[in-house]
Amino acid sequence: MKLQPKKDKITSLQATLLVVNYMIAAGILTLPRVSVEAVGNADAWLAVLIGGVIVSGFGFLIGKLCQMFPGETIYEFGKRILGRLGGGVITLCFVLFFLSLAAYEVRVLAEFIRLFVLDQTPIAVIIVSFMLVAAYLSIGGINPIARICELYFPVILIVMILILLLSLKNFELDNVRPVLGEGWLPVIKGLVDTSLPYLGVEIMLILAAFLQKPQKVLKSLLIAVYVVTPLYVFVVFIAVGVLTVEDVKTVTWPLMSMAMEAEIVGEIFERFEAFLVVMWVMAMYVTFVIAHYLGSLGAAHIAGKNFKWFIYGFLPLIFLMSLYPSNIVELFELGDYISYLGMTLASILPAFLLLVAKIRRVANGQS
Amino acid sequence: MHNFDIQAGIIKAYLGANWSDSRDMLKGFSKKKKLQQKRDQTDDYSEQPGPVVTNQLDQNITYLKERIGHSEDVIFRPFYIEDKTQRATLLYVEGMVDKTVLHHQLLESLMKTRKVDLDPFSQHEKIEFLMSQMISVGQVKRIKCLEESVSEVLKGNTLLLVDGIEAAISVGTVGYESRTVDEPITESVVRGPREGFVENMNVNSTLIRRRLKNPDLTFRNFEIGARTHKKIGVVSIRGLTNPEILNDIISRIERINIDDVPESGVVEQLIEDNPFSVFPQIQNTERVDRVVGALLEGRVVILIEGSPFALIAPVTFSMFMSSPEDYYERWIPTSLVRMLRYGSLFIALFLPSLYISLISYNQGLLPTRLVISIAASREGVPFPSIVEALIMEVSIEILREAGLRLPQPIGQAVGIVGGLVIGQAAVEAGIVSPIMVIVVALTAISSFVFPQYGAGIAVRILRFFMMISAAVLGLYGIILAFILVTAHMVKLKSFGVDYLTPFAPIRIQSWKDLFVRFPIYSLGQRPEMIKPLDKIRHSMKPKGK
């Protein structure tokens, strides 16, 4: 069943950037708060660092698994390992995960936009306009999506670095001290939650099939994690340094608060958060498009139809799902569940599949 | 060359109409090519459709008179070669031929010839004799088919028909008035060559050839326009241009089936990848140096008879932001100008929409004191900012369009009147705010910065799109509109080349010639995205060390 045209190939750089762009999404704005809440003290950045290392371990499993089945998505090799039914269940899980993630992302975006940019516009208008623009890209398949990652990544990186640099002025080292004042225990306790922002490695289970050089899957996945890790660590470190542990815990969008404090001498760039808004909408867009596309692809595998049917077909579904949480607290709770599901798909599932594949000795002959 | 004949055969079969060899562009190029051409003539003329030239002169003349004799500018000139025994006729279109060549090299040498007896010769020898000894014109061609001879005449060649010979001879006498080569108005430069293309395609190909004395420079000529039979030339460099791209372009040209192409713009619209995109996917230029530069990068150039605009394909978006002058001026000023252009692109695209969103939705994003001063200046303006902006932008567009079509002195007057109305009067009448005038003026000036008119049009259209998005959804609307535009651009391709390279896909090598232009010696590689067969332009070291 060849549902995606096989000529669609992406380079390993594109795969890396797809994963990076997909990771940096809703999480980054709330990351300081989430991590500090999990750890409870200024050592949050340490937990985020270790979280990155742990996720790169998951990445290793995923890479190994994908290398056994070059040119196949998990939708395809899942069936080979676990049989028709098991593979179908895995695909269904992925579709569900991607759809709920897309719905979650677009709702977070809408809440954010309503808070900072458009306070009187109905949330449905924000969501629908965003989804329509996203559908325009996801209908084009993986190649345009990969190219837009390449286009946006420099923008996202530059804005992030600028905000971090400009915040250094308000940075106070005392806020992040003492290091390990309460020992390693809080850090270790927080590890589960600080790994969640790295959610995104799991898309490699599908992207690997599009790689021009399938053997590079592990490398490009690990590079992606290593690009995001220092960025996350700095964001948490500097946010805590600027806002203090107590403040970070209380504000909903710590990174936004940090950007609001940043300024260049003179009044022209007083409002730096506008750039953060622009950057973040772009990042959310890419994440949404990837989730939307990969979810549609999975559904196409189950139904045996062209994925374009599902790109349009899922729009109303995502819309309804995104309106389900009644307020932002519920929304973030829902986000946690989605993250746990994602983490399961990114860690336990590949380990399990790898084990079964080794035992049953199923692998793609051409590797 | 043989390949060419196959191509020619395809297009001829496709058009199904009068087709004739269109190699006369090669006229006067290289001796080697001419020899090759002669060889070709001997083996391809048997396949012409339609009635053939017989050895009865009267029969041929009757047919030709029937075909084109109804028009009075077609001249049949009967005369005798050799002692009033050998009847012959010259056939040409008045005004299309060079009279001097016709009189001196053709009529004179044929009529005043020494006494020669053609009778003992065979058919083949007779023609050979006429062509090799009696016609002292560079280009001659033997023609067997009457339909082909008709189209030869219409091209401006002179047809020689001799009684008793089963072939016609077409003599290259094309010579008609054309505009002189002068400076292109749409793309003027401060420093650089001032030659621009003209309507005469032979002149254009010579202009290219003069700058590119390369044996691998290839002109492939086809005929286009079922009724007008215009010549269209596809220019490339053998061993450099990627054949895949070249063949793609040729096959798209061959697919054209239209009665006439009045301008290269029509061809552009017929072969471009996405007709629904606002972005130009083929570049047009009047500048010879731009064309030569594009050829040397491995791009394909299309010339069309009757149009001073050559087409360049494939293109990327960044090409529209560069001018040939960028390479003539030193690299530091050029780099600054490049950045200025990208800055102007940003202003021309976003400034009015940012104004609208900051005034109507997101005042909080502006510094407080600026908000106060803007609010003060907008006091008394009765319209919302979108209406204000639309009034001004639309009137600027009207002015621009009006000034474009008018003769120059009147155009200037329109500019002055418009400037007064739009500037001072509108503010004094309280219709718009002074800040809006600044915004509109800056936007208009910025949109004139682009070296290419076509790119400017795309930006103008998108500006209105951005303004409406800003009016509906504020800053969020602008971001969404921008995302939509970029999503469209990453999907767009020009002949298989991604439109946004080197931004996406990232080509770091090409960034050396993007926002900044590195010194010439460091630009040793041709742009990767057009997949040239020879990637290395030069391997110079700085300062000739």
Judged by CB atoms closer than 8 Å, whether chains meet at B367 and A125 is answered as no
At A2 the pLDDT is: 41
Rounded CA gap, B181 and B162, in Å? 39
Residue range B374-392: average pLDDT? 88
Structure tokens belonging to residue A235? 């964001």
Q: Give the torsion through C-alpha atoms of B266, B270, B275, B281, to 10 deg.
A: -80
B158-162, strands of its sheet edge to edge:
B74-81, B86-93, B158-162, B168-171, B140-143
Q: Measured between CB atoms, which of B362, B367, B484 is closest to A133?
A: B484
At A103 the pLDDT is: 94
Check if B147 contacts A (Cβ < 8 Å). no
Which 8-state DSSP code applies to residue B425? I
Residues 6+ apart with CB under 8 A from A165: none
Q: Measured between CB atoms, which of A118, A150, A274 is closest to B506?
A: A150
At B11 the pLDDT is: 44
User: What are the tens digits of pLDDT across the range B145-172?
Assistant: 888 888 888 888 899 888 888 888 888 8
At B8 the pLDDT is: 44
Rounded CA gap, A74 and A86, in Å? 12
Judged by CB atoms closer than 8 Å, whether chains meet at B505 and A147 is answered as yes
At B345 the pLDDT is: 94
Count H helices, E strands: chain B?
A: 20, 12
Residue range A275-282: average pLDDT? 90
- Enumerate residues 459 to 478 of chain B having a beta carbon within 8 A of any beta carbon in chain A: 473-477
Residues of A with Cβ-Cβ distance to B370 under 8 angstroms: 267
Of B204, B184, B203, B209, nearest in space to B195 by CA: B184
C-alpha to C-alpha distances, A304 to A3, A90, B60, B116, nearest whole angstrom: 7, 16, 67, 83
- pLDDT tier at B117 (50, 70, 90 boundaries)? low
Judged by CB atoms closer than 8 Å, whether chains meet at B476 and A11 is answered as no
Question: How much helix, strand and coil, in percent to the nearest 5, is found in chain B?
Answer: 55, 15, 35
SS3 B39: helix
Residue range B1-20: average pLDDT? 42
Q: What is the 3-state secondary structure (H, E, C) of chain A?
A: CCCCCCCCCECHHHHHHHHHHHHCCHHHHHHHHHHHHHHCCCCHHHHHHHHHHHHHHHHHHHHHHHHHCCCCCHHHHHHHHHHHHHHHHHHHHHHHHHHHHHHHHHHHHHHHHHHHCCCCCCHHHHHHHHHHHHHHHHCCCHHHHHHHHHHHHHHHHHHHHHHHHHHHHHCCHHHHCCCCCCCCHHHHHHHHHHHHHHCCHHHHHHHHHHECCHHHHHHHHHHHHHHHHHHHHHHHHHHHHHHHHHHHHHCCCHHHHHHHHCCCCCCCCCCCHHHHHHHHHHHHHHHHHHHHHHHHHHHHHHHCCCHHHHHHHHHHHHHHHHCCCCCHHHHHHHHHHHHHHHHHHHCHHHHHHHHHHHHHCCCCCCC
Q: In chain A, whose CA is at the least distance from the CA of B473?
A: A118
**Among A242-251, B47-56, B206-215, which stretch is predicted with the lowest mean pLDDT?**
B47-56
At A7 the pLDDT is: 61
Judged by CB atoms closer than 8 Å, whether chains meet at A136 and B479 is answered as no
Residue B243's identity, in one-letter code, is P
Say if CB B221 and CB B305 are below 8 A apart.
Answer: no
Closest CA of chain A from B525, distance in Å: 22
H or E, element range at B545? none
Which 8-state DSSP code applies to residue B166? S
Residue range B231-236: average pLDDT? 94
At A169 the pLDDT is: 81
Residue range A57-68: average pLDDT? 89
Residues of A with Cβ-Cβ distance to B273 under 8 angstroms: none
Rounded CA gap, A221 and A204, in Å? 7
Residue range B245-267: average pLDDT? 93
Residues of A with Cβ-Cβ distance to B477 under 8 angstroms: 129
Residues of A with Cβ-Cβ distance to B316 under 8 angstroms: none
Residues of A with Cβ-Cβ distance to B487 under 8 angstroms: 133, 136-137, 140, 144, 148
Q: In chain B, whose CA is at the least distance from the CA of A113?
A: B476
Strand partners, B80: B87
- pLDDT tier at B83 (50, 70, 90 boundaries)? low
**Among A304-318, B155-169, B245-259, B280-294, which stretch is predicted with the lowest mean pLDDT?**
B155-169
In terms of residues, how long is chain A? 367
Q: Measured between CB atoms, which of B365, B474, B490 is closest to A151?
A: B490
Note the pTM of the prediction, 2 decimals: 0.87
Structure tokens belonging to residue A230? 């220092």
Check if B515 contacts A (Cβ < 8 Å). no
- pLDDT tier at B510 (50, 70, 90 boundaries)? confident
Q: Measured between CB atoms, which of A151, A268, A281 is closest to B479?
A: A281
- pLDDT tier at B99 (50, 70, 90 boundaries)? confident
Residue B82 has pLDDT above 90, yes or no: no
Say if CB A275 and CB A162 are below 8 A apart.
Answer: yes
- What is the separation of C-alpha B413 from the centre of its chain, rounded to a whole number of angstroms? 32
Say if CB B79 and CB B90 are below 8 A apart.
Answer: yes
Q: Can you state the angle between helices A348-360 and A328-346, rounded to 10 degrees? A: 20
Residue B10 has pLDDT above 70, yes or no: no
At B339 the pLDDT is: 94
Residue range B420-448: average pLDDT? 85
Neighbour tally for A152: CB within 10 Å: 23
Check if B276 contacts A (Cβ < 8 Å). no
**Among A168-182, B226-240, B475-489, which stretch is predicted with the lowest mean pLDDT?**
A168-182
- pLDDT tier at A269 (50, 70, 90 boundaries)? low
Residues of B with Cβ-Cβ distance to A123 under 8 angstroms: none
CB-neighbour burial class of residue B278 (10 A; exposed 0-12, middle 13-18, buried 19+): middle
Rounded CA gap, A326 and A107, in Å? 11
The rounded percent of chain A whose pLDDT value lies above 70 is 94
Q: What is the secondary structure of B171-192 as a DSSP string?
A: E--B----PPP---STT--SSS
At B451 the pLDDT is: 84
Residues of A with Cβ-Cβ distance to B350 under 8 angstroms: none
Residue B179's identity, in one-letter code, is R
User: What are the tens digits of pLDDT across the range A220-249?
Assistant: 999 999 999 999 999 998 988 888 888 888
At B307 the pLDDT is: 92
Residue B18 has pLDDT above 80, yes or no: no
Rounded CA gap, B396 and B444, in Å? 8
At B116 the pLDDT is: 63
Rounded CA gap, B4 and B314, in Å? 22
- pLDDT tier at A184 (50, 70, 90 boundaries)? confident
Give residue for tokens 């009045």. Answer: B262
At A265 the pLDDT is: 60
Residue range B88-117: average pLDDT? 82
Interface predicted TM-score (ipTM): 0.93
Q: Measured between CB atoms, which of A121, A148, A268 is closest to B490?
A: A148
Using DSSP bridges, classify how beta strands B310-313 and B140-143 pair: parallel, antiparallel or unpaired. unpaired
At B34 the pLDDT is: 44
Check if B340 contacts A (Cβ < 8 Å). no
Residue B266 has pLDDT above 90, yes or no: yes
At A363 the pLDDT is: 63
Residues of B with Cβ-Cβ distance to A282 under 8 angstroms: 479, 483
Check if B154 contacts A (Cβ < 8 Å). no
Residue B58 has pLDDT above 50, yes or no: yes
Residues of A with Cβ-Cβ distance to B474 under 8 angstroms: 117-118, 121
Phi-psi region of B261 (alpha: psi -120 to 50; beta: other; left: phi over 0): beta
Rounded CA gap, A249 and A34, in Å? 8
At B32 the pLDDT is: 44
At A138 the pLDDT is: 92
Residue A367 has pLDDT above 50, yes or no: no
Residue B290 has pLDDT above 60, yes or no: yes
Say if CB A108 and CB A334 are below 8 A apart.
Answer: no
At B407 the pLDDT is: 79
At A310 the pLDDT is: 92
What residues of A are in the B interface, CB distance below 8 Å?
Answer: 11, 13-14, 113, 117-118, 121, 125-126, 129-130, 133, 136-137, 140, 144, 146-152, 267-268, 270-271, 273-274, 277-278, 281-282, 285
Check if B361 contacts A (Cβ < 8 Å). yes
Residue range A101-116: average pLDDT? 91
Judged by CB atoms closer than 8 Å, whether chains meet at B370 and A267 is answered as yes
At A117 the pLDDT is: 84
Q: What is the CA radius of gyration of chain B?
A: 30
At B6 the pLDDT is: 46
Residues of B with Cβ-Cβ distance to A292 under 8 angstroms: none
Neighbour tally for B247: CB within 10 Å: 12
At A270 the pLDDT is: 62
Residue A193 has pLDDT above 90, yes or no: no
**Among A154-168, A353-367, B172-186, B523-537, which stretch is predicted with the lowest mean pLDDT?**
A353-367
Closest CA of chain A from B124, distance in Å: 56
Residue range A137-152: average pLDDT? 93
Residue B123 has pLDDT above 60, yes or no: yes
Residues 6+ apart with CB under 8 A from A2: none
Judged by CB atoms closer than 8 Å, whether chains meet at B504 and A147 is answered as yes
Judged by CB atoms closer than 8 Å, whether chains meet at A282 and B483 is answered as yes
At A192 the pLDDT is: 82
Judged by CB atoms closer than 8 Å, whether chains meet at A274 and B475 is answered as yes
Which 8-state DSSP code applies to residue B45? G
- pLDDT tier at A69 (50, 70, 90 boundaries)? confident
Residues of B with Cβ-Cβ distance to A125 under 8 angstroms: 473
Say if CB B232 and CB B302 are below 8 A apart.
Answer: yes
Q: Measured between CB atoms, which of A129, A148, A278 is closest to B486?
A: A148
At B49 the pLDDT is: 65
